[in-house]
Amino acid sequence: MSKIHIVIAATSYEGSDAVRAFEDQGDAERFAQKCRDHADKQPRVPELNAPDADWDAYQKRSKRWEQTHPAKPFIGRESYSVGTIRFFPKGTP
């Protein structure tokens, strides 16, 4: 019997999604941390009455941040965690 380690992106309002599976738990933990680190770098939203130039710059930074997210398309989530399940290859009784 083998195990696989799944990085899960979750929100309290949308549930969770499996982002990526790994054979090695350490690889899964590192990827989940990479997702959390990237999430921490999400651009800050300008004040509502900020100049248009600030909003334009924010839009560009935000788009770049989304495009480079390691868990894309599962971005803007509250958490990235690792779950482990048993894996039964085809033909396993």
Give the rounded percent of residues in the chain with a pLDDT score beyond 90.
89
Q: What is the largest CA-CA distance in the chain?
A: 65
Q: Which two tokens stand for residue 17?
A: 């999604």
Q: What is the pTM of this model?
A: 0.86
Return the pLDDT at 93.
Answer: 74
Q: How far apart are CA 80 and CA 83, in angstroms?
A: 10
> How would residue 89 be classed by pLDDT, with cut points 50, 70 and 90?
confident
Amino acid, res. 22 = F
Question: Per-residue pLDDT averaged across 17-28, rounded?
Answer: 97
**To the nearest whole number, what is the mean pLDDT of the chain?**
95
